[in-house]
Structure 1
Amino acid sequence: MNKIYVDDVGKGFPLVLVHGYLGSSEMWCNQKEYFSKFCRVIAPAIPGFGESSDIKSLNTIEGMALKIIEIIDEKKIEKFNLMGHSMGGMIVQEMTKILGNRINKLICFATSSIGEIPGRFETMDETREKIKQDGIEMTFSRVPKKWFVKGDKDKNYYLCENAVKNVSFESADNALIAMKNWVGVDNLKNIENETLIVWGDKDTSYNFDQVNTLNKEIKNSRLEIFNDCSHNVHLEKPNEFNVLIENFLN
């Protein structure tokens, strides 16, 4: 079985949502409910993660981008809006590099133009080593807490717990390798699509320098910062987040 899980809901101009590391299609649940009232929302689960945890994982960002493009082409979608979160933000930059103006508007959310980020709470290799030493269960209970200001007390933290239930060591490690080896900074000047960059001011995974680089280097972009949010603004302040995205798309 090679078909990854894809949620495809609503009607209208398509909006493709690409989740991040240790994520799932379900983690977009607040966005799917909101945007499907006036958009066709397509939310895949990346191979090896979430609802696609039984599919062989990939160890390059480009490979993940091509897999999502394959889905879009199978659905015969020519033009669409595109949003990526965290590692998904790297994937959507790679998709934009390949597809150019087939992407109407681009949203880079809590992400970066490089995978190995200076100032991250730990290096990719340190995370990889900790998974090996501590086991995936310990890592999966440790890392997602950093994505919320309230940690595991956030009302939507359960979505992170659901997402990692069946993720293997290989899938978790492959994605860290993919991010570590990915560099997209040189391509930013080639992105001509109207772009919104979204960041939470308490994000310890991707610091301000990372989103500021995106904003400075992408010609037609603007940066919106959410106060008192960490890495998962779409789960911490879903209503405000959805309104911001809707206004940008319209």
Structure 2
Amino acid sequence: MIPLVLVHGFMGGSDQWRLQAPLANDGQVVEIDLPGFGDNADLPPINSIGGFADWVLQYLASLGIDRFHLLGHSMGGMIVQEMMRRQPQSIERLILYGTGPVGVLPGRFETIETSMRRAQEDGPSATARRISATWFMKGEDAETYPDCAAIAERSSLAAIMAGLEAMRDWSGEDALAAISAPTLVIWGDGDRTYAWPQAEVLWKTIPDCRLAVVPGCAHAVHLEEPELFNRIVTKFLREM
């Protein structure tokens, strides 16, 4: 079976995928912790999307994994686009979830510059709690918000600033038409981080691309509607 690699987003970590455990029924699932975040919060942060992509590819090579399905969420969606640019022959199927083709996010709940300034003023813990609340339709009242915020709070200020810098300086628009793997875009219609036009560009530009819009969800579909999210992913990966 071809393994599925999950790449989390900004201030995320492998623990955020606990409700995706059923995906392992179809084969190995590899949950990445990016440097500076999650279980790798002690590693030096990386400040470029390309640098993150190189790190993930090297990590997978160290595990002996050279062929895989790839799912990236949010900033992780940018990272997996760069992985596709670097090593397309390794990627069987690609899932771009709650993400877009550019790092400067038009329509984001606040600009990246504002997030950088507020992170320095408020500190990493307050920033983690504040930003992770925007990922849910119900904000801090969402059932899975506390666990998600706890993962985000593991991020240091240096990691937060590096991640924001990485997104700010990245664009993958010129590589979309060259994506050769069958691709699925997943987007929650209440996403306040990545507005519809960004998901639409992915869907309309990538040659072999399908779209799943999940109503009543924000940026954390996999936590707000985990059973539906898992069914969508499983169905796509089974279309072999």
For the aligned pair, the TM-score class normalised by the smaller chain equals over 0.9
Show the counterpart of 1:8.
none
Residue 134 of structure 2 aligns to a residue whose secondary structure is helix
CA distance in 2, matches of 1:34, 1:99: 28
- Pick from 84, 105, 118 the counterpart of residue 96 of structure 1: 84
- Pick from 9, 24, 49 the counterpart of residue 13 of structure 2: 24
Task: For 1:234, give the aligned amino acid.
Answer: H
Shift of 1:217: 0.8
Task: For 1:61, give the aligned amino acid.
Answer: I
CA distance in 1, matches of 2:56, 2:153: 22
- Pick from 47, 50, 64 the counterpart of residue 76 of structure 1: 64
Shift of 1:30: 1.3
Question: What stretches of structure 1 of length at least 5 have no aligned partner?
Answer: 1-11
Cα-Cα RMSD: 0.9
Conservation of the 8 A alpha-carbon contact between 1:15 and 1:80: yes
CA distance in 2, matches of 1:116, 1:165: 23
Paired residues, what number? Answer: 238
TM-score by length of 1: 0.93
Conservation of the 8 A alpha-carbon contact between 1:22 and 1:160: no
Shift of 1:225: 0.3
- Pick from 227, 233, 239 the counterpart of residue 245 of structure 1: 233
Question: What stretches of structure 2 of length at least 5 have no aligned partner?
Answer: none
Shift of 1:181: 0.1
- Pick from 146, 152, 168 the counterpart of residue 156 of structure 2: 168
Task: For 1:195, give the aligned amino acid.
Answer: T
Shift of 1:38: 2.2
Shift of 1:167: 1.5
Identical columns (%): 38
Question: Are residues 166 and 95 of structure 1, via their aligned partners in 2, closer, same or farther at CA, if it must alter by over 3 Å?
Answer: same
- Pick from 221, 227, 235 the counterpart of residue 209 of structure 2: 221
Residue 247 of structure 1 aligns to a residue whose secondary structure is helix
Conservation of the 8 A alpha-carbon contact between 2:70 and 2:80: yes
Task: For 2:217, give the aligned amino acid.
Answer: C
Shift of 1:238: 0.2
Shift of 1:245: 0.4
- Pick from 85, 96, 102 the counterpart of residue 114 of structure 1: 102
CA distance in 1, matches of 2:125, 2:24: 34
Question: Hey, which bits of structure 1, 4+ residues long, moved more than 2 A?
Answer: none
Shift of 1:162: 2.2
CA deviation vs aligned residue, 1:56-97 (integer Å, no higher than 9, x gap) = 100000110111101111111121100000000000000000
